[in-house]
Structure 1
Amino acid sequence: MIELCRGNNKLRARISRLEEELSVREETAADPLLLQFKQLQLARMEQERDMEKHEEHSKLQRKLATSLERLTNVKAKLDFSQREAQARRRQLAEVEAALADRREALTRIRRTRDKLQRESLRLREEQGLFGNKNLLRDFEDTVDAAHRLEERLQHLKARHAQTGRKAADP
């Protein structure tokens, strides 16, 4: 449809040019130099139109080349960015996997620590005095004091018995 419109416009322009040329020929039929001048003038106008079209075509080609170059650069940058993003995603996945492993290890270590703390507490409770130096020293002091008192008691009993025998022997 668009091509038909363009073709129609071209034909109309050609018809108007030919009509103009025909009218000029009719006007200048009497004077061949004037006819030749008008023909040259028409030829020069056609050349100018052709040059304008050629310049416009050149500009469009330059714009197209520039656009293609920019597009190529953008595609290259996009490709690079996508590869870099993919590499970063893989690296992130590796780091997340390592983090998950370390979290699991930390959880296991904490469980083991808690278990050892409970076991240590239980053993300290079962141990009694052996785990507490102050209590053990106090207990030893008490036992030593009890032994000294026991010895003194034995000594006093022996002395009492000796005193009682001396009093009975007169």
Structure 2
Amino acid sequence: MAIFNSPQNNATARKDQPSFASDTPAATPPSRESNAVADFSPSQVAPPRAAAPAPAPEPVAKESLIAADLTIEGKIEGSGHVRIAGKFKGDVNVQGNLRIEDGARLNGGVKARQVVVAGELDGNIQSAEKVELLPSAVLTGDVKAGSMTVAAGSKIRGHVECGWDASESAAPRRNGKAAEAAEPAERAS
């Protein structure tokens, strides 16, 4: 608490009891030449608190954007997220998420953790954890994903494998049967 007293009142004030400006008599205004004294000592000393460790900052994944008025040809690789609002021709291989906006077009293969399609994708989606097709989506290509959500109104043309892990989907299939089971029957004929 800050207390400002004139030098005359400091002599009569006790150190353990704070005095306030209203306690001083009104007849003795402080002069301009006197120095004010400030007491910043707390009346009670608070026990020191143990400082809680600050939580580690969570890494923020960066997102790259291909704007609606851009047309780009090439290859995208990286660890962040990618959002395509324009047109892109080439493969996209990211460890983050890929989003193709409504009105956007991607011609190429896709490898990403999560893929959300609202525009057009002409290419295969490989090894995604999750694929989501929104109502305006048009997908022409094969999909290999852990899970897939297809909204009413979206269009898809291609082969879809969902819910299989890498070891289960490795065996090629013929007419719905695993290739290993079909080969012995063909040799016997």
Q: TM-score range by the shorter chain?
A: under 0.3
**TM-score normalised by the chain length of structure 1:** 0.24
Q: Going by fraction, where is helix more abundant, 1 or 2?
A: 1
Which structure has the highest strand share of the two? Answer: 2
Structure number with greater Rg is 1
Instruction: Identify the structure with bigger relative contact order (alpha carbons < 8 Å, sequence gap 6+).
Output: 2
